[in-house]
């Protein structure tokens, strides 16, 4: 029996998801709120972690270890790097990395620490369902690499570093930590983002303007995927 975790980082990212459900039970735990719903015979737990890799790791691990979720879907917004990605466009992560994890002083590559790996791959079977849903709904979606770091990127200098170092298509602040947690706990997971800005000097303004609409794009697509699970 699948128990599904649906996660975002910000309230604005899960609000459009919660809107689809009634009879929501709220569980308070570890300075956060976890929303339990039943949907199409599925038990679902929904939460937003708060921003950044640490909060995202705590929430992902909690949804799996405490709530017993056996599949995790993430929905949210991201900064676009790949010029094909326009504001509002959807990206499904096929792999994720941490662009601010750096022990290069010891000759290691960016994003690597001993015992870890630079890229963590998402679950192929979930990506395949997502692509099928996109085709059925005539949605333009790209699959690509998402780079995660504990900073809001708003300069072409940092954006270019991330692009050239990891060949990343988009960037955000939680995905790779969710990936490490799910990979370590052997839980299938899926990371979906809609572009809110292009991580350059206009990023802050674009983010404010497009957070809500892009979060809704991602949420609406995620709900269609949930219906196929
Ligand atoms: C109050 C401000 C909260 C910013 C949180 C942004 N999220 C983090 O996951 C996604 C994101 C959208 N655009 C970004 C960018 N340019 N850099 C980093 N992260 C992002």
What is the CA(51)–ligand 1 centre distance, in A? 8
Shortest-distance Cα residue to atom 16 of ligand 1: 199
Domain architecture of the chain: domains with CATH: 3-226 (3.40.50.1580)
What is the CA(41)–ligand 1 centre distance, in A? 34
Give residues (CB < 6 A) around ligand 1: 9, 51, 76-79, 152-153, 171-174, 196-197, 199, 203, 207
Distance CA 170, CA 109 (A): 20
Residues with active-site annotation? 13, 197
Tokens of 168: 């990343």
Beta bridge partners of 73: 6, 190
Tokens of 14: 């899960």
> Closest ligand 1 atom to the C-alpha of 199?
16
Distance CA 195, CA 215 (A): 9
Q: What is the pLDDT of residue 211?
A: 98
End-to-end CA gap in the chain? 11
Q: What is the pLDDT of residue 40?
A: 87
Distance CA 202, CA 86 (A): 14
> Closest ligand 1 atom to the C-alpha of 79?
13
Kindly report the pTM of this predicted structure.
0.98
pLDDT along the chain (229 residues), means of 10: 94 97 97 96 97 98 98 98 98 98 98 98 98 98 98 98 98 99 98 98 98 98 96
Q: What is the pLDDT of residue 226?
A: 97
Q: What is the pLDDT of residue 83?
A: 98
Tokens of 13: 């990212």
Shortest-distance Cα residue to atom 19 of ligand 1: 172
> ipTM value of the model?
0.99
Beta bridge partners of 39: 42
- The closest alpha carbon to 92, from 58, 49, 129, belongs to 129
Tokens of 118: 């630079």
């Amino acid at each position: 029996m699948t128990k599904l975790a649906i996660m975002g980082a910000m309230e604005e990212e899960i609000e459009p998801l919660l809107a689809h459900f009634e009879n929501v039970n709220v569980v308070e735990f570890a300075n956060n709120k976890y929303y339990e719903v039943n949907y199409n015979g599925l038990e679902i737990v929904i939460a937003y972690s708060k921003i950044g890799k640490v909060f995202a790791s705590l929430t992902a691990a909690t949804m799996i270890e405490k709530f017993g979720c056996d599949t995790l879907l993430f929905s949210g917004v991201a900064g676009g790097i790949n010029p094909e990605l326009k504001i509002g466009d959807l990206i499904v992560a096929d792999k994720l990395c941490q662009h601010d994890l750096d022990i290069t002083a010891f000759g290691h590559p960016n994003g690597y620490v001993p015992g870890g790996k630079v890229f963590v791959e998402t679950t192929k079977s979930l990506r395949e369902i997502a692509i099928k849903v996109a085709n059925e709904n005539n949605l333009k979606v790209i699959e690509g690499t998402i780079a995660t770091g504990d900073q809001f990127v708003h300069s072409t200098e940092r954006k270019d570093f991330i692009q050239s170092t990891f060949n990343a298509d988009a960037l955000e602040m939680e995905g790779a930590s969710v990936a490490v947690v799910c990979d370590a706990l052997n839980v299938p997971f899926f990371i979906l983002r809609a572009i809110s800005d292009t991580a350059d000097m206009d990023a802050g303004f674009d983010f404010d303007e497009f957070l809500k609409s892009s979060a809704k794009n991602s949420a609406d697509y995620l709900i269609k995927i949930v219906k196929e699970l």
